[in-house]
Amino acid sequence: MKMCYLIGYPLEHSLSPLMHNTAFRLLGLEYRYEARPIRPGELEEFVGRELRSPDTAGANVTMPYKETVMELLDVLDVEASEIGAVNTVVNRDGSLVGYNTDGRAALRALRESGVPLSGARVVVLGAGGAARAVVYHLCREASEITVLNRTPRRAVRLAEDASGWGGCPVRWAHLTPETLSRHLADADLLVNATPVGMYPNVSETPVPRELLREDMAVFDVVYNPPRTRLLRDAEEAGAKTVSGVLMFVYQGAEAFRLWTGVEPPVEAMMEVVLEALGCGGT
Ligand SMILES: NC(=O)c1ccc[n+]([C@@H]2O[C@H](COP(=O)([O-])OP(=O)(O)OC[C@H]3O[C@@H](n4cnc5c(N)ncnc54)[C@H](OP(=O)(O)O)[C@@H]3O)[C@@H](O)[C@H]2O)c1
């Protein structure tokens, strides 16, 4: 039996064990996925003892360790290194390799939802790990990206790092009602990469409804609930919407492929996640 772990602290109820164990069972793979809350100060020991064990295939890494785990690994994939965060670790014969599957998953979600990306003017809300992963991929497709963040320092760092990623210009501004309104006025795609609207704060939204238009697409990285208030408002405005559930399942599918070398059963993974989120049958 090969083990895969989810490491973070505190670990809220996560859908990853259900999603991965369903996939392992369906394909008859001798793997098991377990969530392991690791207290600050215990990360190094866990990585050395459990992740390096020959019985371990790898792990997913979540808050607050996506950055700190990097220095405990042997090899970093270029993408993870440039984004500056690891969400997936693979144990390759005792050598620990760090990947970031979030950005690729976001890109796949947007593409499969039919959102035109080539030449798009994009506004990204937030400048944390999810925003960095999304901008890393979108800057190769879009014509311009504006990052709006509550804390300017983080947005500045993202824009500076992005200038070395070989894509379109990435600008930044302080997130205020005025900058939001001004930059959304000619945006083709809005990405919410903040937790605003996430369960249990489901009545919150990062964008007033009147700023949403039918000729824009709206992607919310929040996946619980699958239809956030932002997405419901956008739908009402006639905009194309993309749920963070797609990104969640695709980042897991990519990790599954890295651990097992086997094509993940994406449809079954999506179904079990939607069912657990109370959207069975959709
Ligand atoms: N669908 C998926 O597969 C997936 C994958 C990864 C993450 N996510 C989701 O993405 C969200 C962000 O995750 P992350 O890893 O990027 O977190 P993070 O690194 O902590 O960054 C959070 C970002 O959101 C901003 N923010 C937080 N609260 C805010 C508020 N009340 N108003 C305005 N901005 C606010 C922060 O601004 P400051 O810099 O000012 O603090 C920061 O830019 C979470 O909800 C997470 O669950 C989803």
Per-residue pLDDT tens digits for 216-258 = 999 999 999 999 999 999 999 999 999 999 999 999 999 999 9
DSSP conformation class of 48: I
Specify the pLDDT at position 282: 41
Q: Is 17 in the pocket of ligand 1 (CB under 6 A)?
A: no
Nearest CA to ligand 1 atom 2: 248
pLDDT in tens, 114-172: 999 999 999 999 999 999 999 999 999 999 999 999 999 999 999 999 999 999 999 99
Let me know: does 83 contact 109? Beta carbons within 8 Å.
Answer: no
Nearest CA to ligand 1 atom 17: 128
Is the pLDDT assigned to residue 96 strictly greater than 70?
yes
Catalytic residues: 66
Let me know: does 260 contact 29? Beta carbons within 8 Å.
Answer: yes
pLDDT in tens, 1-52: 999 999 999 998 899 999 999 999 999 999 999 999 999 999 999 999 999 9
Q: What is the pTM of this model?
A: 0.97
Cα–Cα dist 128/201, whole Å = 19
Cα of 127 vs centre of ligand 1, distance in Å, is 8
Q: Is 127 in the pocket of ligand 1 (CB under 6 A)?
A: yes
Among the atoms of ligand 1, which is closest to the Cα of residue 127? 43
Q: Is 244 in the pocket of ligand 1 (CB under 6 A)?
A: yes
Q: Is 128 in the pocket of ligand 1 (CB under 6 A)?
A: yes
| 84: three-class secondary structure by DSSP | coil
- Give Cα separations from 126 to 96, 172, 248 (angstroms): 30, 10, 18
Nearest CA to ligand 1 atom 20: 128
